[in-house]
Structure 1
Amino acid sequence: MRSRAEVDATLRTAKLNPGELLPAVHCLSFGPQGGAGECCLLQLEAGLMNVFFCYFFFFSLVIRGEKDEKAVLCSKDKTYDMKIADTSNTLLFIPGCKTPEELNADEASCNIIHSQIAGFSNNYWELRRCRPKLKKLRKLLMEDPYEGPDSGKDQTSTASRYTTEDLLSLIQASEEEILHQLQVIDACVIEGICFLSQNHHWRRMEGFI
C-alpha cells in the first residue's frame, strides 16, 4: 500500500500540482480474485436505468437464445438486442468505489483511500430495443397442429410438443410478447400443451354452414 509520501512523489514525477487536485487519493490493488471474465458490464441509457433497476428488484431479466442465435435480453414485456462493444481503456470493477460527489466530509479530507479491484474488462454489452423474434413460434407449433378430438393423430403423434414454459425458453421474446402472439395465431392450450388450432377452427366453422 502506498504512503502519502509515495503519492506525492508520483505527482511530482507526473508534473501535477497537488493544489489543483482533490485531497482524497484512491490507491488501487488487485483482490484475490481480481481477474477478467468474472463479471460483465451492461451499458444502459438514462431512460432505461430506472426501468431495469425496478426489474432487478421486482421481476426477472432473462437472456434468451440458442447456440446458433444472437442473444437477446428480455424483461417481462420487452426484448433487447445484445451486442458486445470493445473499448481501448481497461474498465475496472471496484466494489464500494465512490465518486468525489459521493464522498462525505471525512472521506474527502482523508489522505489515502485503499480500494481493491474485483475484476476488469475491455468490453461491455450494449442494449438496443428490438422487435420480438416470433417467426419461430409458428414453426414450432406447426410440427404438431391440433386437428380436433376426433383425430387419432393427437394421441399417436411423436412430433415435438411444447408447453408455455418450453416456448418461453425457445422463443427470443418477452413473456407478454409471446403470450400475445399465441392469441394472434389462434393457438390453444390443451392439458398444458400449446397447439395451433387453425385447422380445427375451420372444421368447426364448416359444421355451422
Structure 2
Amino acid sequence: MEFNDNSRHLRSTEDITEALKSAGVKEVSLHNVSQVLYYLPNEEANQDCRLLELDDQLLEMVEKGESFTFQGRVDETAVLCTKNRTYEVREAETSNSLLLVPDFKFSSQSNINDSSRILEHKDVKGIFYKYYEIRECKPQLPKLLTLLDPSSFKGQEYESSIDSAALFDWDKLRNEIQASEAELLQALDDYLIININGYFRLISFECEARSVTLMLDLLDENSWEVDEVDREITYDALKNLIIKPVLDTLFKKYAEVSEKKKDDGSPLYKYNEIKTCKLLAKVLLAASPVTEYKQFMESWHIGTPDKMTPKDEYLSGIALVIWNKKLSRKEVISYPETSLPRDITARFHALFKVKSKWTVQEITPYIINLTTSKMNVQALLTKYARCSMSNGVKLYSSKYDN
C-alpha cells in the first residue's frame, strides 16, 4: 500500500513481478489482476462513512430496496427501525483494520482471460477500527405516555385549557418515538390513543373510568345481562356524554361479540369480565393504594356488574396481594407495571425488593414487555433470577441475595 499524495509513487507491473519473486510466490498461481491500494490524505478520506453489520434478513431487505430509519434525539441512544421492527444500535471494536475501497474486485471478479498482468490503482477512502452492530429490541413505546399525558383528553369541558403547542400529529409523533411504524400503530390501540382533528390524544384514566362506568350503568337501566349489550342503543344513549372517538375506542376494548343476537339477527355484545374488573380495581387503587384485602374485595364486588366475579388474578400487572408482617394482615397494594424502570436489571431489583419470591404467573405481567423474539419470559428469568422449589411450585428470587 502507498500513501496517496501529489508525489506518490505509482507501482508498475514490473514492481509487482519483482515483489512476487521476493516473496517466493509463483505468478501463474494468481489471478492476473493486481490491485494496488493507496491511502488518501486525511482531508480527502471519507470521514462521514460508518460501517453497519446487518443480519441476513436485513441485508435481504436492503437488496430489495426497502428503507430503514435511524431514530432518536441527541440525548437518546439511536435505534434502527424497519417497517415493523426496532433494533438497538451498538458500537463495537474490531481487532483488524477495515478498509473502504470503492470498486474493489474480489476473487471471482479478478480473473480476466488475458495472459498479461493487469494493474489497477485503488484509493482507500477510509480505515475503520470500529463498526456498529444491531440487536432487535423493544420499541420505546412507554415514552408515548410521557409525551401525550400533558394533552390527554379528559372530556369536552376541559378542551379549552389544552395548549395547541403540546399536541402531536403523526409526523411529530414519529419523530419522537423510537419505534417502527407498525409497532407505533399497534401502540395507539394498546394505550387508548385516539385521533381528534388530526392530533393524537391519550384518553385519560379519569375519562376512561367515567365513560366505562356510564356504559356499565346501561346494563341496569335496560335490564341487560352482561352478554346482551346493544351497541346501537349504547351509542345513542351516550352520544351527548362521550365523544365518538372515545366511545369507539372503549367499546372496542371492553366489549366483544356475544353468542346472543337481536331479533333482526344483528349481533349483541358482552363486556369482557377481566378487562372490566381490572379497570374497576384500578379505580379503587387510585383512591386507596394500600387496602386491607377483605375490605378491598368487598368494595370491588359491590362496584362490579352482576354476573361478573372479581378474582385475585385480575389484579395481574396493576396490584399485588401481600402479607403485611407488621400489621399481621393481607393487603392489596397498587403496583402498576408502567411505574417500573425500563432497564431490565433495575426492574428485577425493584420486583425482588417489593416481593422476595414470585411464581412465573405472578411475575410475567411485569417483565413481558421486556421480552424480544430471542429472549422470552423464561429466558429472562434464567438470566436475571434464581429458581427454587416450594411444595412443587417454582419460585423466582434475586440472583444475588444469599
TM-score strictly above 0.5:
yes
Question: How far apart are the structure 2 equivalents of 1:99 and 1:66?
Answer: 39
Normalized per residue, the structure richer in strand is: 1
Deviation at 1:203, TM superposition (A): 2.7
Paired residue total:
204
Instruction: Find the partner of 1:46 among 56, 62, 78.
Output: 56
Residue segments in structure 2 that go unaligned for 5+ positions in a row: 1-9, 218-402
Aligned residue number for residue 132 of structure 1: 139
- Name the CA distance, whole Å, in 2 between partners of 1:46 and 1:22: 30
Q: CA deviation at 1:175?
A: 1.1
The residue correspondences of 1:16-31 to structure 2 (distance < 5 A) are 16-30=25-39
Once residues 99 and 114 of structure 2 are traced to their aligned partners in structure 1, the CA distance between those partners, rounded to angstroms, is 21
Moved more, 157-166 or 75-84: 157-166
Alignment equivalent of 2:199, drawn from 175, 193, 196: 193
What is the SS of the residue equivalent to 1:194?
strand
Q: Is 1:83–1:127's contact at 8 Å kept on the other side of the alignment?
A: yes
Between Structure 1 and Structure 2, which shows a larger proportion of helix residues? 2
Quote the Cα distance in structure 2 between the aligned partners of 1:50 and 1:148: 48
Contact between 1:36 and 1:121, CA under 8 Å: does it hold in 2? no
- Give the AA of the match of 1:171: I
Gaps of 5+ in 1: none
Q: Which residue pairs with 1:92 in the alignment?
A: 99
Does the residue aligned with 1:97 lie in a helix, a strand or coil?
Answer: coil
- Higher Cα Rg: structure 1 or 2? 2
Residue 128 of structure 2 corresponds to 121
1:112 aligned to 2:119?
Answer: yes
C-alpha change, 1:107 and 1:83, in structure 2 (3 Å) is: farther
Query: Alpha-carbon deviations, 1:75-121, whole Å to 9, x = none?
Result: 11111111111123222212211211134634796421222222222
Distance 1:105 1:23 in 2: 7
Give the structure 2 partner of residue 157 of structure 1. Answer: 162
Bigger relative contact order, structure 1 or 2 (CA pairs below 8 A, ≥6 apart): 1
TM-score by length of 2: 0.47
> What is the distance in 1 between the residues matched to 2:80 and 2:27?
45
For residue 172 of structure 1, what is the aligned residue in structure 2?
Answer: 178
**Counterpart-to-counterpart distance in 2, 1:108 and 1:150:** 87
2:82 is the alignment partner of 1:75: yes
Q: Which moved more, 1:122-131 or 1:24-33?
A: 24-33
Partner SS for 1:26: strand
* TM-score normalized by the length of structure 1: 0.85
Distance between the aligned counterparts of 1:106 and 1:29, measured in 2?
26
CA distance in 2, matches of 1:107, 1:143: 73
